[in-house]
Amino acid sequence: MRWNKFTLKTRTEVEDIVISTLTEAGVEGVEIEDKVPLTEEDKKQMFVDILPDGPADDGIAYLSFYLEENEDKEAMLQRVREELEELRNFVDIGEGTITESQTEDKDWINNWKQYFHQFYVDDILIIPSWEQVKEEDQDKMIIHIDPGTAFGTGMHETTQLCMRQLKKYVTDQTELLDVGTGSGILSIVALKLGAKHAVGTDLDPCAISATKENLEANEITEGRMDVMIGNIIDDKAVQDQVGYEKYDIVAANILAEVLVPLTPVIVHQMKKGGIYITSGIIDDKEETVVEAVKKAGLEVLEVTHQGEWVSVTARKN
């Protein structure tokens, strides 16, 4: 399907009120393009510690909305222009010009799959659900992963660092806590390595469906993993549900900024002698996490690197 795309040039300072005005005119959704730097809160929602420098904010915002070909675009544009002219009496919206173009409908949820193909992490084969296992790989450890809308394909260096540490410490008696489980990939690797049971926590409700589908794809029997939604750092109900002093291994592949407040909390979930595997740490935050781990009373066992990313492994003595 082809769509008519309309792009309004305005000022970043008035984005919100212009979007509200577009909504009043009947526009159902708006795409925002500007050069406003991300806030610290924005960065916490992304799997990056440091973002490359972007262009300086020029104060200009482009607000785009879409109409199907069979919609009455002239009537919509007339309403939009009338509302904008009314708004100009109170607010400087800048140019306020509207340009028109056409774009193809895209399946954004699935189009990324063309870039995700099977690959190895050492001797573990990670393969998406839409690809077939080759004959020569049938005897390998195979992890079937379809991340869906939850984070976690196994391609990121931080995930691979955690996987290698899990291979060192998982036993057939391991109770694993996977903080920020995403697609469930680290739990699935641990369960494939023989772990007895895993619990995953995440803030994103999509983690529940993604993990369930991946457990089924890997033929892991029901009951070997539970997923809970909530913030284990400050939600006592989640902490209670997860349980205390019951985990042999805690894996947390998140961000340095999250690991620092998480660590003194998560020690209470770990058994004595339990192993704490962390990653998601950009290299210049290594000492920050190491200090947080030591301050929580844990013994640092190993610090490993891949590219510019770091994993810190520690033990509760």
180-236 pLDDT, tens per residue?
998 899 999 999 999 999 999 999 888 898 899 999 999 999 999 999 999 999 999
DSSP reduced 3-state for 26? coil
291: left (phi over 0), alpha (psi -120 to 50) or beta: alpha
303 strand-pairing partners? 312
- How many helices (H) does the chain have, and how many strands (E)? 10, 14
Please state, in angstroms and as integers, the Cα–Cα distance from residue 223 to each residue in 10, 171, 182, 210, 237, following that order.
53, 18, 18, 16, 21
Asked if the model's pLDDT at residue 114 lies above 80, the reply is: no
E strand or H helix at 230: none
Contact 256, 281 (CB under 8 A): yes
Instruction: State the pLDDT at residue 44.
Output: 46
Which token pair is 59? 């104060």
- pLDDT tens string 119-174: 888 999 988 877 888 888 888 899 998 766 455 677 788 999 999 999 999 999 99
pTM value > 0.75 = no
